Structure 1
Amino acid sequence: MPLPDAFTDCPVTLKWTAQDLGELAAQPLPHPPVLVAGDIRRVAEDLDVWDAWPLACGRGMPVRWRGGELWFALAAPAFDDPEARHGAARIHHFHRIDGRFIHLGATFPDGFTPGSREWSGSAHYGGGDVTLYFTSAGTRGEAELTFQQRLFAATTRLVDEGQDGAVFEAWTHPVELAVPVDLIYMSRHDATGRVGEIKAFRDPATWRTQQGDEYLLFTASSARHLGRYNGVIGCARRAAGGTGKFENLPPLIDASGINNELERPHVVAYGGRLYLFWSTQAKVFAPGIAAPTGLYGAVADRIEGPWQLLNGHGLVFANPAAEPFQAYSWWVLPDLSVTSFVDYWGMDDAEAEQKPAGRTHFGGTFAPFLQLRLDGTRATLKSGR
């Protein structure tokens, strides 16, 4: 399907290919240390936490708040089956202070968002306002969970310290940011709920240019390349001073044919260049592609591209081979520190052959921070200890 004339001046989308990933077989995969029991510090025994992001300034650095930082993450009750958390996910907020995360509660009032649950996003602070970008999943009041995904933002102001423990003033009504309309990005996202096969329109994160244009990045599925493996990093733009919906643009990264989900894309400025990062899992690569669960990335001189895969293949680092599920959902900060959550950990080689159900090995909490080193098109991992 040809793109409308309005898109003809956009840069060419970076096509991520099996040939790119074929280079992984010829080199050792960088990985962080294996997690041990002392690394697993749960926020609360009755609460699972995953997919975290900070309240950040326009360039992505966490904002100082009450002697620490204010963070958001998805959270749900600690069910017997940790995978059930996705059907009950809500955004919660946390005080990160002295290296620990303190749970402060659910961020939005009950019934506030238009979906049946809330999925990942990002948060921006400017001029005293907090804008929370988030994914609304399903439909409020639905009898059975559906997987329709919509992108929204809501705004509030931080409460002055000491006012009865409150953090936020009243939130503005959620405003929808962009709509897929089955032209560039798929509108249907059900896939009958099978993990790894659900199509995507989620994980909004923004980037603002010096000229004031605002770009919206998100996890999406291509409407031009239908099939089981058609994951893309979507892009939309709102001109400086604009307050309406974002205009959809062609994707920044197209993994059609090789991967179904390029999750939680976000941009970091470093060394005069822009670095685009995303997370993905081994199980969502197409058959025949031996690529691990890990953090992947690309680099460009400007948000419009052209983008170049980091390290020639895109992989920044993977989970350790003996612990292929120990962490996920990495988020890189401008100081190159990296957060994630503890997924399934502490498994022996036999258990590592398949991701187990049940609580025995599920972390459900913030993982230890890691540290990157970036040098042009090369990305390496410093020790996390």
Structure 2
Amino acid sequence: MFWNTKNAGKMLSAAVIGFSAILAPVISSSVFAQETAATFDWTREDVSKIKMNEENTAPVINKEELEELSEDFLVWDTWPLQDRNGHPAVVNGHKVIFALTVPSDVIPGKRHDTAEIRYFYAKDGKSWQLGGRLFDDGKALGSRQWAGSAMIDKDGKVHIFYTATGRKNEKKLTYEQRLATATADIITTNASVAFKN
């Protein structure tokens, strides 16, 4: 999904309101709510009274101000390597992000048909260098990979979770999805990051 910046604030506000409405029965029946005797009733009238402001509206994203990670690839759905507490990990001074990618000549509507996970690294969290594909040819499950997450353990082992979509060598593209996991060793030098095993 590409982000429509014109309606981003309205979409975020609607999502928050909708999420609050879904959670209201859960919250009101929880132990927390019972202890505080709180209940939540959202009506259309209540929602219509909400005024958009800087505190409840996502900022406008100016496409011209975005920095391109790679001229060779379309890059979307990006996530950081995290530690066990959910904080962005720093490995020997490097921050690492993973992203879904396709070659830049693929038309946007076809990007999900051949998506692969690539990784980028930077010491400053801004000057990202392309590390390469996360999986060697044929090593990932499915005919392509979709979004996931990654965590590094105290022993340095990286645990990767991703959506394996389709089946290897399928003649007709399918959209069967499974959650998959892999582990790897992260190898760093002062100037590079790589994954092995």
Q: TM-score, normalised by structure 1?
A: 0.37
Q: Which residue of 1 aligns with 2:182?
A: 154
Q: Which residue of 1 aligns with 2:123?
A: 97
Per-residue deviation, 1:96: 3.2
2-structure distance, mates of 1:97, 1:21: 48
Does 1:136 find its partner at 2:170? no
- Cα 1:28–1:45 shift into 2, 3 Å: farther
CA contact (8 A) 1:78 1:85 kept: no
1-structure distance, mates of 2:87, 2:43: 31
SS of 1:65 mapped into structure 2:
coil
> Which residues in structure 2 correspond to 1:247-286 (within 5 Å)?
none
2-structure distance, mates of 1:102, 1:42: 11
1-structure distance, mates of 2:113, 2:144: 7
1-structure distance, mates of 2:92, 2:67: 22
Unaligned runs of 5+ in 2: 1-19, 24-40
Does 1:28 find its partner at 2:51? yes
**RMSD across aligned positions (CA):** 2.7
Q: Which residue of 1 aligns with 2:27?
A: none
Q: Could you give the per-residue CA deviations for residues 178-231 of structure 1, whole angstroms, max 9, x where no partner exists?
A: xxxxxxxxxxxxxxxxxxxxxxxxxxxxxxxxxxxxxxxxxxxxxxxxxxxxxx
Q: Could you give the per-residue CA deviations for residues 233-273 of structure 1, whole angstroms, max 9, x where no partner exists?
A: xxxxxxxxxxxxxxxxxxxxxxxxxxxxxxxxxxxxxxxxx
SS of 1:159 mapped into structure 2:
strand
Q: Which residue of 2 aligns with 1:168?
A: 195
> Which residues in structure 2 correspond to 1:41-56 (within 5 Å)?
41-56=67-82
2-structure distance, mates of 1:56, 1:39: 27
If asked which structure has higher relative contact order (CA below 8 Å, sep 6+), I would say 1
- Cα 1:20–1:89 shift into 2, 3 Å: farther
Q: Could you give the per-residue CA deviations for residues 51-87 of structure 1, whole angstroms, max 9, x where no partner exists?
A: 1111111111111124230111111112353121111
SS of 1:93 mapped into structure 2:
strand
Q: TM-score, normalised by structure 2?
A: 0.69
Q: Which residue of 1 aligns with 2:33?
A: none
Which structure's residues are more often helix, by fraction? 2
Per-residue deviation, 1:39: 1.9
Per-residue deviation, 1:26: 2.7
2-structure distance, mates of 1:66, 1:20: 49
Which structure's residues are more often strand, by fraction? 1
CA contact (8 A) 1:131 1:153 kept: yes
Larger Rg: 2
Per-residue deviation, 1:20: 5.2
Moved over 6 A (4+): none
Q: Could you give the per-residue CA deviations for residues 137-190 of structure 1, whole angstroms, max 9, x where no partner exists?
A: 011111221110001110011114269x561121xxxxxxxxxxxxxxxxxxxx
| Equivalent residues, number | 156
> Which residues in structure 2 correspond to 1:1-385 (within 5 Å)?
16=22, 22=44, 23-29=46-52, 30-79=56-105, 81-98=107-124, 99-126=126-153, 127-161=155-189, 165=192, 167-170=194-197
SS of 1:16 mapped into structure 2:
helix
CA contact (8 A) 2:131 2:193 kept: no
Q: Match for 1:28: what amino acid?
A: K
Per-residue deviation, 1:110: 1.1
CA contact (8 A) 1:76 1:89 kept: yes
1-structure distance, mates of 2:50, 2:159: 42
1-structure distance, mates of 2:158, 2:114: 24
Per-residue deviation, 1:24: 4.0
2-structure distance, mates of 1:54, 1:142: 31
Q: Match for 1:156: what amino acid?
A: A
Q: Match for 2:184: what amino acid?
A: T
2-structure distance, mates of 1:57, 1:103: 21
Q: Match for 2:142: what amino acid?
A: G
- Cα 1:63–1:26 shift into 2, 3 Å: same
